[in-house]
Amino acid sequence: MTEDEARAWLKAQFDVPRETWDRLKRYVAILLSAMDEQNLIAESTRPHIWARHIVDSAQLLLLARDAGDGEWVDLGSGAGLPGIVVACLSERPVVMIETRRKRIDFLNDVIAQLGLRHARVFGGRVESAAPMHAAVISARAYAPLPKLFASALHLSDKNSLWVLPKGRNAQNELEAARPAWQGMFHVEPSVTDAESAIIVAQAVMPTGKKKGRS
């Protein structure tokens, strides 16, 4: 997907009013300029930021269309991927969880500059966030599945929809997690890379447990 194709995809998939479009463009500009001070995205992806990061994040919204009302919780948000992109493209409240100080400051700065009043940052470890009933949980390049589920189970209930971009190893990672984790799982192809996939899960709980949090 070229950068032009990425922007065209966004326009085709989302009703992108001018204000939203401006926000996305400002986010990209802020992110690129902050790259002088901290490594927020891989240097090699800088020329492909719309395809590799913005569309890659935005596609999760399509997979979460049927989620119930409530907060979208993004684990290990880093530069705000996908959390900031989700907050730009939807009105759902977004909580980004990030532990590194410079990244927390960056995220709060982006929220303020873009006026994203429905987004907030929890600055700390996922494991130490207060229990929640998230409607959607995303995690991009955060942790392998077993650690991901174990660290964030207290943020979920049986209705929470997990949308987890997992690159080219998604199916294998899912099979490896199966003995310890049960739920309804399926794997969706990524629009940005034909060989990458996104794990979508619901009612996730450790195997052997009969009931999740309701």
Ligand X SMILES: C[S@@+](CC[C@H](N)C(=O)[O-])C[C@H]1O[C@@H](n2cnc3c(N)ncnc32)[C@H](O)[C@@H]1O
Name the residues that contact ligand X, by CB under 6 A: 76-79, 81, 97-100, 103, 125-127, 140-142, 151
| Shortest distance in whole angstroms from residue 18 CB to ligand X | 27
Q: By C-beta, is 7 or 140 nearer to ligand X?
A: 140
CA proximity to 99, closest of 126, 124, 127:
124
37 known ligand binder? no
Distances (CA, A) of 120 to 23, 87, 117, 199: 16, 10, 8, 25
Residues 6+ apart with CB under 8 A from 108: 121
Rounded to an integer, what distance in angstroms lies between the CA atom of residue 56 and that of residue 85?
A: 10
Contact 84, 107 (CB under 8 A): yes
Question: What angle (nearest 5°) sits at the alpha carbon of residue 176, between those of residues 153 and 75?
Answer: 35
Contact 195, 170 (CB under 8 A): no
Q: By C-beta, is 19 or 109 nearer to ligand X?
A: 109
| Shortest distance in whole angstroms from residue 15 CB to ligand X | 25
Q: How far is C-alpha 27 from the geometric centre of its chain's CA atoms?
A: 16
19 known ligand binder? no
Q: By C-beta, is 3 or 203 nearer to ligand X?
A: 3
| Shortest distance in whole angstroms from residue 124 CB to ligand X | 7
| Shortest distance in whole angstroms from residue 105 CB to ligand X | 12
Q: By C-beta, is 100 or 118 nearer to ligand X?
A: 100
103 known ligand binder? no
| Shortest distance in whole angstroms from residue 74 CB to ligand X | 7
What sections of 14-144 are H helices per DSSP? Answer: 18-34, 49, 56-63, 83-89, 101-114
Q: By C-beta, is 97 or 204 nearer to ligand X?
A: 97
127 known ligand binder? yes
Annotated binding site: 76, 81, 126-127, 140
Annotated binding site for S-adenosyl-L-methionine: 76, 81, 126-127, 140
